[in-house]
Structure 1
Amino acid sequence: MSGSSTQPPDPTGLGDMNDIIFVSLGMIVMDEIRFPDGKVLSHVPGGSGLYSTLGARLAVTDVTNSGRVGCLALAGSDFPVSVVDTLKSWGITLCLQQADDRLSTRGLLQYQGTNFKDRVFSYTTAPLQPTPADLTNRIPLLRSVAFHLLASPQDFELSAQQLQAIRHADGVLTKPLLAWEPAPASCRSSFRDEHLKAAKLAHIYSPNHTELLAVFHDVEEPSLVFDRDTIQDIALQLLESGVGPDGQGAVVVRCEEHGSFAVSKAYTGRWFPAFYSGNSSKVVDATGAGNAFLGGATAKLAEGAGLTEAVIMGTVAASFAIEQIGLPERAGEGKGETWNGVGVLSRIEAYRAKMEKNY
Structure 2
Amino acid sequence: MLDHAIFWHVYPLGATGARIRDWSTEDEGHRLTDLIPWLDYLIDLGANGLLLAPIFASTTHGYDTLDHYRIDPRLGDDADFDALMAACHERGIKVLLDGVFNHVGIDHPMVADGGPIRRLPDGTPEPWEGHGDLALLDHEDPRTEELVVDVMNHWLGRGIAGWRLDVAYSVPAWFWAKVVDRVRGQHPDAVFLGEIIHGDYLELVEEGHLDTVTQYELWKAVWSSIRDVNFWELEHALTRHDEFVAQAPMQTFVGNHDVDRIASVVGPEGAALAAVLLFTLPGIPSIYYGDEQAFTGVKGEGFSADDPVRPPLPATPEGLAPLGQWMYELHQGLIAARRRHPWLVHARVEVLETENEAISYRVHSGDDSLTVHLTIEPTMSARLEFSDGETAEFSW
TM over 0.5: no
Q: TM-score, normalised by structure 2?
A: 0.40
Q: TM-score, normalised by structure 1?
A: 0.43
